[in-house]
Amino acid sequence: MANRFQIDGEEVLDGQVKEFGNSAHVTVPKRWRGADVKVVRTSEPTEQDEE
């Protein structure tokens, strides 16, 4: 069963996490620069890291 969160915000963006060097990133619109954001994972990762 998933956790449930309530977040007040301005916009919602659905996206996909993409590989970025030794990390990963989510691309957001340029107009969001300088804004505070929260990222919520809504599914299990499809790839597993070897740490």
Residues 1-51: tens digit of each pLDDT:
678 989 999 999 999 999 999 999 999 999 999 999 999 998 888 876 655
**42 assigned to some structural domain:** no
Buried b (16+ CB within 10 A) or exposed e, 21-49: eeeeeeeeeeeeeeeeeeeeeeeeeeeee
**20 assigned to some structural domain:** yes
Task: Give the pTM.
Answer: 0.67
**What is the domain extent for residue 11?**
1-30
Q: Domain tally for the chain?
A: 1
**51 assigned to some structural domain:** no
**48 assigned to some structural domain:** no
